Structure 1
Amino acid sequence: MAYSIRFPRRHDKADRNGRYAVRLCITKNKRRKYIALDLYADPAYWDEAGEQFIILRNLKGAEQKAENKQCEAGNALLAKYKVRAREIVERFEIEGIDWTLNQFEDAFLNTSKQGKFNAYFTDRIAELHATGHIGNSQTYKQTQDILKSYDRKLDQRLFSDIDLRYVRGFDMFLQKRGCCGNTRKFYFKALRAILNRANAEGVGSVATYPFGRGGFEVSKLEEATAKRYLPAAELSKLKSTTASNPQCEYARKLFLFSYYCYGISFIDMAMLTAAQIKQMEDGDYIVYKRQKIKRQKGVKPISIKITPAIRQLIGSLQAASPTVDDFLLPIVTRSGYTGERLYMHIRARYSKYQKYLRLLAEELGIDFHLTSYVSRHTAAMTLQRNNIPREVISQMLGHADLETTNIYLDSFDNEVINEAAKVL
């Protein structure tokens, strides 16, 4: 890979002492970039051809000796800069990175973070937090924290250290801690996302990337979970039975609202506003983008027609508890919350909702572990039982691909299997 490293002196602008800045010039593919070094040269003591300071020999006087000493220090610094520049280029080439001049500049000026995995990880968490991706930032922070428990020298690790052997050791560490396959998958997906982004930005190590073909297979960590969808009889009971406990009744209505709205998640329910109700030719619709993927490119909004059942639930929930700001449902109870403060408030409300669902199941005699996810899975399974194509179900759920929908639906219940067996 053709490149050159030089240290030319400027000629256009001198400082107040008549000295001119010496800069590093990196050239690649006939393009060049200059990097300031905070180093200045007096023209009388600068070798233009050799691009170094001139050391005058056999001259007496304290002033001349001091000048020579300063020139020697300047040359030593130039030699150090040249070594650093070459090491950066060599590292890029070893790792198979087709580097740009901007990448070189960033590497040269940020040597304390150069190639450091954990420093990049920390910056990514801060970036997500600053841009309002609070949930993702917390997911990455949890992964970073568990990695610190696994590796006490994490701060010293380069991207090239996070190789196949390293991630296999991390997996063994998680297993010894009693982490199930799905929990391990949670951590490895975050780790993989960090490495993918670093590679895309040209700061990672492509050569030692531990995932992909022949590498560590995150998908194989997934374990089958217990059924998350309600049997038809239990769903009917939930629809027709009013809970005596007000908190349980609140949870029941939210659960049914989620179910009728194609299994809308709790965070998406909480963030719905009155402005998201749109009037169309055939009625009113709730139109929203999932919080989880709304910033991804090409994400389409989900449109839910407001049926009499949905309208009745909205009115009933609003009558039981006033809403704040422009929120559609009384989930957010504090006015003026935004950003992380709003996110943490919704998380606290989510924990209470999960508790109320457990109490609701006990009160109604529903022999099922009732959670917020159950409404989403139940909606998906109900649609499938009524012969709705999976492609349509996938769109209604707001999934990015059909594979995710298949995970929801591939675990058929005995009723479906028994019906299928009748044709034998």
Structure 2
Amino acid sequence: IDWTLNQFEDAFLNTSKQGKFNAYFTDRIAELHATGHIGNSQTYKQTQDMLRSYDRKLDQRLFSDIDLRYVRGFDMFLQKRGCCGNTRKFYFKALRAILNRANAEGVGSVATYPFGRGGFEVSKLEEATAKRYLPAAELSKLKSTTASNPQCEYARKLFLFSYYCYGISFIDMAMLTAAQIKQMEDGDYIVYKRQKIKRQKGVKPISIKITPAIRQLIGSLQAASPTVDDFLLPIVTRSGYTGERLYMHIRARYSKYQKYLRLLAEELGIDFHLTSYVSRHTAAMTLQRNNIPREVISQMLGHADLETTNIYLDSFDNEVINEAAKVL
């Protein structure tokens, strides 16, 4: 029998595919891809690729090899590559999720688990990021000024739709369907679950009352470009796309959206790095400045906990601090 070196090693050490960390990782990526979790599968693949760059013997590693010393070494490797704390957190969250699942299925190594109490603390990698919300004057300009470039005007309307819909993400905007508009006693609502967490247990739908501003934007966007299938907005422009094909189509549309937001800021003289995230952060900060409790803001944004919401919000902005200082 013509055995490979890896097959010989498996037989000699009495190991199996189930005990091999990277084989399990690969199977999990394939499973996510096959079940339509395209974004998560890509996140895991990026993490696996980075681990392979760090460890040339990754294919031979058992779960017991992925211990505290191993992940600390991986962290040092990422730092030497210039990865910031938030980027390192991206990789470690995926690695931790793989190990958690393997342990839950009884194929991992609980004894050498590197995370949790006394282990590597992923949460400490979190770095404060620059707040990405528009100042009130710039937001007012964006609301009231029509762009001359049709693509920039399309981006402006999508940005405002996101803002008025509690900072709905681009992927969630793209996936909205006409069937998600529900008639209730006090008006029409958009009712949806975030694509990011919709398969998690206990996730509640977000209900957004369709205000005159939202209704006007829907009509204007639909008039400018036809919708396909049952989609509410003209973001998806190809009929019949599903799975990875649909995901990649939306990713391409997202890239164009980001491009035209940048051009929109230039055209309107907005001195701000305008991105899709800004609408979400701006919605959150506008709510806080109007004294809406953070618990309510968290629910409107569809966050699982207040910790996530706090990332979006300043504890106090400069205006509040300046007013407080007047009493001194």
**TM-score, normalised relative to structure 1:** 0.73
Identity %: 99
Instruction: Give the superposition deviation at 1:112.
Output: 3.2
* Superposition deviation, residue 241 in structure 1: 0.5
Contact 2:190 2:208 in 1 (8 A): yes
Alpha-carbon distance change, 395 to 105 in structure 1, aligned in 2, over 3 angstroms: farther
Would the alpha carbon gap of residues 302 and 158 (structure 1) be closer, same or farther in structure 2, given more than 3 Å must change?
Answer: same
Residues 384, 110 of structure 1: alpha-carbon distance in 2 compared, 3 angstrom cutoff:
farther
Q: Which has the higher helix share?
A: 2
Question: In the TM superposition, what is the alpha-carbon distance from 1:117 to its structure 2 partner?
Answer: 0.4
Question: Do the aligned partners of residues 276 and 107 (structure 1) sit closer, same or farther apart at CA in structure 2, a change above 3 Å counting?
Answer: farther
CA–CA distance in structure 1, aligned partners of residues 290 and 89 of structure 2:
33
Q: Deviations over 1:247-287 (max 9, x none)?
A: 11000000000000000000000000000000000000000
> Cα RMSD (Å) of the superposition?
4.8
Match of 1:98 in 2: 2
1:203-235 deviations in whole A, cap 9, x for unaligned? 111111111111111111111111200110110
Distance in 2 between residues matched to 1:116 and 1:145, nearest whole Å: 16
Distance 1:274 1:105 in 2: 57
Indicate how the Cα distance of structure 1 residues 203 and 103 shifts in structure 2: closer, same or farther if over 3 A, else same. farther
Counterpart CA distance in 2 for 1:135 and 1:346 is 11
Gaps of 5+ in 2: none
Comparing 98-107 with 119-128, greater Cα deviation is found at: 98-107
Does the CA-based 8 Å contact 1:107-1:114 persist in structure 2? no
| Partners of 1:128 and 1:134 within 8 A in 2 | yes
Take 1:418 and 1:246, find their aligned partners in 2: how far apart are those partners? 41
Residue 393 of structure 1 deviates from its aligned partner by 0.5
Q: State the partner residue of 2:152.
A: 248
Bigger strand fraction: 1
Distance 1:98 1:213 in 2: 46
Instruction: Note if contact 1:227-1:411 (Cα within 8 Å) is conserved in structure 2.
Output: no
Distance 1:327 1:105 in 2: 53
Structure 1 residues 106 and 399: alpha-carbon distance in aligned structure 2, compared to 1, 3 A threshold: farther
Q: 2 CA distance for matches of 1:131 and 1:200?
A: 20
8 A Cα contact 2:72 2:120, kept in partner: yes
How far did 1:102 drift?
Answer: 26
Change over 3 Å in CA distance of 1:401–1:100 after alignment to 2? farther
CA distance in structure 2 between the partners assigned to 1:98 and 1:406 by the alignment: 59
Secondary structure of 2:79 counterpart: helix
What secondary structure does 1:375 align onto?
helix
Structure 1 residues without counterparts, runs of 5 or longer: 1-96
| Cα-to-partner distance string for 1:134-167 (whole Å, 9 max, x where unaligned) | 1001000000000000001000000000011101
Between structure 1 and structure 2, the one with the greater Rg is: 1
Q: Does the C-alpha gap of structure 1 residues 315 and 208 become closer, same or farther in structure 2, counting only changes over 3 Å? A: same
Equivalent-residue separation in structure 1 for 2:14 and 2:231 (angstroms): 45
1:107–1:406 Cα change, 3 Å:
farther
Which runs of at least 4 in structure 1 moved beyond 4 Å after TM superposition? 97-111
SS for the counterpart of 2:217 is: helix
Relative to the length of structure 2, the TM-score reads 0.94
Q: Deviations over 1:3-36 (max 9, x none)?
A: xxxxxxxxxxxxxxxxxxxxxxxxxxxxxxxxxx
Worse overlay, 347-356 or 216-225: 216-225
Count of residue correspondences: 328
Contact 1:323/1:329 (<8 A) preserved: yes
Shift in CA distance, 136/367, structure 1 to aligned 2, threshold 3 Å: same
Q: Deviations over 1:266-324 (max 9, x none)?
A: 00000000000000000000000000000000000000000000000000000111111
Change (3 A) 1:421 1:206: same
Q: How does 1:7-406 map to 2 (within 5 A)?
A: 112-406=16-310
Contact 1:283 1:306 (C-alpha < 8 Å) held by counterparts: yes
Pairwise CA distance, 1:403: 1.3
Cα distance change on mapping 1:269 and 1:209 into 2, 3 Å = same
Deviation at 1:419, TM superposition (A): 2.6
Q: Is the Cα–Cα contact under 8 Å of residues 263 and 397 in structure 1 kept in the other structure? A: yes
Between the two structures, name the one with larger relative contact order (CA 8 Å, sep ≥ 6): 2
